[in-house]
């Protein structure tokens, strides 16, 4: 189906499946899938990471640091596909979940930027040729 709203809201199945590169500079970038229902890993990641804290969430007593750590883990599990050019202590490091968690907890503004990016459907829109 093709509608007049496609150019505003339709996303690319290929971009959603494979992710898009979010470039920090000419050397450093993160390959990110969207945090949405189209990503099959999202539901499982939310369930796994939030389950141990269900009572605290219900009572509104979940610590902010734990909340951020949960979001970081969800992002890594469901959205982060790859990275390039990430250096720690002057050495380029390959993506692994433990290193990513340490990086994003150490640099909350980086994480916040990527977290916001993966939730914006506009970053995964279909190019339908209508501006």
Q: Which residues pair with 50 in a beta bridge?
A: none
pLDDT at 20 over 70: yes
pLDDT at 98 over 60: yes
Residue 40 has what pLDDT?
84
Share of residues in the chain with pLDDT > 90 (%) = 76
- The answer, as to whether pTM is greater than 0.85, is yes
pLDDT at 2 over 80: yes
């Amino acid at each position: 189906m093709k509608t007049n709203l496609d150019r505003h809201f339709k996303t690319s199945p290929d971009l959603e499946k494979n992710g898009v590169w979010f470039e920090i500079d000419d050397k450093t970038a993160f390959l990110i899938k969207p945090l949405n229902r189209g990503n099959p890993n999202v539901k499982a990641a939310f369930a796994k990471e939030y389950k141990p804290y269900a009572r605290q969430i219900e009572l509104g007593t979940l610590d902010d640091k734990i909340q951020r750590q949960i979001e970081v883990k969800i992002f890594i599990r469901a959205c982060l596909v790859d990275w390039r050019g990430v250096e720690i202590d002057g050495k380029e490091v390959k993506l692994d979940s433990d290193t990513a968690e340490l990086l994003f907890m150490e640099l909350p503004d980086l994480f916040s930027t990527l977290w916001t990016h993966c939730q914006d459907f506009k970053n995964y829109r279909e190019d339908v040729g209508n501006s």
